[in-house]
Amino acid sequence: MFKISQGQSFSNLGYKSHKNHLNLSDIEKKGFPRIRVIISYSRSTFSHNERVCFVVMMQKNPTPIKFDLGKKIKELRLERKLSMRSLAQLSGISLNALRRIERNLTSPSVSTLYKIADALNVPMLFFFQDSHQRNEVVFCKKDQSVKIPFVRGVWEGLGCQKFSGGIEPFLLTLEAGGGSGLFKMIHSSDEFVYCLEGQIEYEVEQERYLLEEGDCLMFTAHRRHRWRNAGKGRCRALVVLFDLPEGLRERGVEFLEDSIEK
């Protein structure tokens, strides 16, 4: 993963981005391995704005990867019999932003993608798998997990994209300065966090909780929240999202809709 600002040089590649586009041929001429960037977006962190590129391969002569996020979102939306306006309201993002995402004119941030997945009632990693078959029993080897890199961190799905139940386990790794961003998020699940290494701070509504190795936190995630690495080194945490019981999920969706209207 490379982090760049518009016009900023890649220190390790020695070239400048031009109008936020990556000139891959220039990189290859310099003798570097071929790089395929599947997602690129701008977002704010706790410190500054930067552009993020998700790099999924660093090898010569790679096998092409078919990745059509917009198509997957649109297909699932139509399968749920939702209009674009309805999905925008449920997810809390603007209609124009959703339209651009479905047309692959822009790429969503991790937090935006999670809002869309939550509104469609699927795991976020659902959009990154080749097969949409869900199983009641899932065994996931350590090298089979799906990793989604973002600003100074990685979400690692622990088989949840294949599981038919209402649980989503993730391994969250944050480098120093990493976090979910300036804006708090809400979704209709319960959330459990167990700190494995370092220090991670969760801010839920107006309360802040500092988790160190062995500490845990549970809360209903329709409460506005965000998280960040509170230490000087790397931190790792097990994050488990649970679907709300029937009835409570509806209350959570109503809460989201009320928040959007306000």
The structural domains of the chain, with segments of one domain joined by +, span 2-58, 125-261
Please tell me the predicted confidence (pLDDT) of residue 196: 97
Q: How far apart are CA 74 and CA 77, in angstroms?
A: 5
Cα torsion angle, 114, 116, 121, 124, sign: negative
Mean of pLDDT values over 229-252: 74
Task: State the CB neighbour count (10 A cutoff) for residue 83.
Answer: 11
CB atoms within 10 A of CB 3: 13
User: pLDDT at residue 110 above 50?
Assistant: yes
Per-residue pLDDT tens digits for 212-222: 999 999 998 78
Q: pLDDT tier at 133 (50, 70, 90 boundaries)? A: low
pTM here is: 0.56
Question: In the structure, what pLDDT confidence band is assigned to residue 204 with cuts at 50, 70 and 90?
Answer: very high
Would you say residue 32 has pLDDT above 60? no
List the structure tokens of 61: 């002569």
The fold adopted by the segment(s) 125-261 is Jelly Rolls (2.60.120)
